[in-house]
C-alpha cells in the first residue's frame, strides 16, 4: 500500500507540459491517479492521447471526466471562433487570448480536489506555466496559491488537518527548460501535441500560440520537435 | 439591458435554502442566471424541481449542467451508502456526515464562476448556511471567503479589475430565520424539498439531517412544513 504522502492526482491533458509533469512526478516516486477531461469537439483526441501516455507511464489509475459545456462558450477552444495564428512567438498578443476558457483550471482543479479526497492523495500535480504561456489568468503563481488556500478549507481532509498540496513544478520554467527536463527523464514527445487547432488527423497547425511556443522550445534545445505538423499550404 | 452590477448567477438546487436565496436576490432587483446540476440518480428530481422554481421566479435564463460522477463515490448522495436517519435534530452527529460529497461546492462554484464570466454577471449567489447545517466544510464563511479570493485571480474579469462577488445571504441565519425571511418574500415552500433520501414519488423521508433541520425550522415559525412527507411505517 502506497502511503498518502506518495499518492498524487495529476491533471493530464496529453500535451507537452502535463506529460513532463507526469515524468517528474513518477521520477519522484509518486503513485499517480491521472485525471483527464473531454470538454469539446475540438479536443476529442486529447483524451485518447492522455490515455496512451497514462499507460506508458504506468499510472495507478486514469479517470476521464466528461465536462458539460453548457456554461461555457466564448472561447476558441469550445466554440466556432477561429484560433489566432502567427509566424513567430514575438507576434503572440499580450492580452488574454480567445483560446481562454472561462474558469477552466478552477473547474479542473475542483475535480482534482474531489478525486484527491476519494483516493486519499496528499498532492495534486498540475502543469501550468507562468513564463512561456499564453496569458491565461489561471496559470499564475498567485492563482495556484489561492487554490491551495481554498483546498485547505474545502474538504474533509483539509478540516482534519491534512490539506492537499497543489504542486506546479513547471510554474517558473521556460518552455525550453521544460523540454530539457522532460528529455532528461526520457519523455517521448512524439506522443504529445500542444496544438489548439489540429487537423482531422490530429496534426498540429504550427501557427497557434501553443505550437509556436513549443517549436521555439525545441529549437532552443537544438533539436527538432518530433510532433507531426500539417504540411505548409 | 441590465447592468453587470445587477446581473447574478445563482446556484439553484430547488431546495429550501437556494429557493429562499432566489427570492432574496429577486427582491433586490437582480436579473438571475440560474444554475443547477444533475449529479446522481438519488437526486434526479432536483433538476426538475429547480426548473419549476426558476420559471416561477421568472429568472433570465436557467442552465442545467450534467456532472460526471467519475471522480466521486464514497458519499451517501452519490453511492449506495445508507443516508443516516434520526428522530430529532439533537441526534444529528457533529462529524462530517456520509452525505458529504467531496469538493461539491467547489465544483459548483467553479461552474458558476465560468457562467458569471460568460454572462458578464458581477455576483454569484449561493445558499450555504453555517449555522443549522450538516457539518460540511464547504459551507463555512472562511470557505466562501477563500473562494472569493480565488475568483479574483482566476478569471479574465478578475484580472481586468472586476472580480465576481460571492454572496451567501443565508450564511449566518438559522433555519427558522431563513424560513421566516422566505415567507415574508412570499416563497411557496411546498415547491421545495430538502430531503437526502426521498422515495420514488419524491416524498421526503422526514428523518435525514436535512428533513429534521427543515421540520424544526418550520416548527420554530409555528407553521406546518407544506412539503409532502412519506407516511410513517
Residue A74 has pLDDT above 60, yes or no: no
Burial of A100 (0-12, 13-18, 19+ CB in 10 A): buried
Alpha-carbon dihedral sign for residues A188, A192, A194, A200 = positive
Q: Model ipTM?
A: 0.85
C-alpha cell at A182: 522532460
pLDDT of residue A195: 82
Mean pLDDT of A71-78: 64
Average pLDDT, chain A: 85
Q: How far is B71 from chain A (nearest CA, A)?
A: 5
pLDDT band for position A233 (cuts 50, 70, 90): low
* Residue of B68, B115, B156 lying closest to A96 (CB–CB): B156
Contacts of B25 (CB under 8 A, 6+ apart): B8, B10, B32, B125, B169
Q: How confident is the model over B61-82, as pLDDT tens digits?
A: 999 998 887 777 655 566 666 7
pLDDT of residue B155: 82
CB contact under 8 Å between A153 and B142, yes or no, is yes
Q: How far is B229 from chain A (nearest CA, A)?
A: 31
CB contact under 8 Å between A65 and B70, yes or no, is yes
Residue A89 has pLDDT above 90, yes or no: no
Decide the pairing of beta strands B123-125 and A165-167. Answer: unpaired
Alpha-carbon distance values, B42 to B83, B99, B113 (Å): 11, 11, 26
* C-alpha–C-alpha distance, residues B126 and B87, integer Å: 29
Q: What is the DSSP letter of A43?
A: G
Residues of A in contact with B155 (CB under 8 A): 102-103, 137-138
pLDDT of residue B100: 65
**Helix or strand run (H / E) with residue A215:** helix A209-220
* Residue of A68, A110, A142 lying closest to B106 (CB–CB): A110
pLDDT of residue B28: 97
Residue among B198, B224, B201, B223 at smallest CA distance from B211: B198
Mean pLDDT of B26-33: 97
In this predicted model, which residue has the larger pLDDT, B228 or B42?
B228
Burial of A54 (0-12, 13-18, 19+ CB in 10 A): buried
Q: How confident is the model over A120-135, as pLDDT tens digits?
A: 999 999 999 887 655 7
Q: How confident is the model over B153-166, as pLDDT tens digits?
A: 988 777 777 789 99
HSE value, Cβ hemisphere, 13 Å, CA-based, for A144: 19
Residue A109 has pLDDT above 90, yes or no: yes
Mean pLDDT of B85-105: 71
Domain ranges of chain A: 4-220
Mean pLDDT of B101-124: 91
Pick the CATH number of B4-220 from 3.40.50.280, 3.40.50.620, 2.60.40.60, 3.20.20.70: 3.40.50.620
Residue B121 has pLDDT above 90, yes or no: yes
Residues of A in contact with B110 (CB under 8 A): 103, 106-107, 109-110
Q: How far is B10 from chain A (nearest CA, A)?
A: 13
Mean pLDDT of A225-230: 89
Note the pTM of the prediction, 2 decimals: 0.87
CB contact under 8 Å between A102 and B155, yes or no, is yes
CB contact under 8 Å between A137 and B117, yes or no, is no
Alpha-carbon distance values, B147 to A25, A135, B108, B208 (Å): 28, 22, 11, 29
pLDDT band for position A211 (cuts 50, 70, 90): confident
* C-alpha–C-alpha distance, residues A196 and A86, integer Å: 13
In this predicted model, which residue has the larger pLDDT, B233 or B190?
B190
Amino acid at each position: 500500500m502506497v502511503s498518502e504522502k506518495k499518492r498524487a492526482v495529476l491533471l493530464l491533458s496529453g500535451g507537452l507540459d502535463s506529460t513532463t509533469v507526469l515524468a517528474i512526478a513518477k521520477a519522484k516516486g509518486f503513485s499517480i491517479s491521472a485525471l483527464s477531461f473531454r470538454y469539446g469537439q475540438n479536443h476529442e483526441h486529447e483524451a485518447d492521447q492522455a490515455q496512451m501516455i497514462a499507460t506508458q507511464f504506468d499510472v495507478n489509475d486514469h479517470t476521464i471526466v466528461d465536462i458539460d459545456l453548457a456554461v461555457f462558450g466564448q472561447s476558441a477552444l469550445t466554440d466556432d471562433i477561429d484560433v489566432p495564428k502567427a509566424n513567430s512567438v514575438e507576434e503572440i498578443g499580450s492580452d488574454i487570448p480567445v483560446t481562454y476558457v472561462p474558469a477552466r483550471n478552477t473547474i479542473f482543479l475542483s475535480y482534482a480536489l474531489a478525486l484527491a479526497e476519494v483516493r486519499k492523495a496528499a498532492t495534486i500535480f498540475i502543469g501550468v506555466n507562468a513564463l512561456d504561456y499564453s496569458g491565461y489568468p489561471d496559470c499564475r503563481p498567485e492563482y495556484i496559491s489561492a487554490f491551495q488556500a481554498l483546498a485547505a478549507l474545502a474538504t474533509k481532509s483539509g478540516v482534519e488537518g491534512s490539506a492537499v498540496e497543489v504542486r506546479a513544478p513547471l510554474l517558473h520554467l521556460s518552455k525550453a527548460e521544460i523540454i530539457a527536463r522532460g528529455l532528461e527523464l526520457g519523455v517521448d514527445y512524439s506522443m504529445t501535441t500542444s496544438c489548439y487547432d489540429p487537423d482531422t488527423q490530429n496534426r498540429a497547425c504550427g501557427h497557434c500560440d501553443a505550437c509556436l511556443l513549443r517549436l521555439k522550445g525545441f529549437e532552443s534545445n537544438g533539436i527538432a520537435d518530433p510532433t507531426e505538423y500539417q504540411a505548409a499550404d
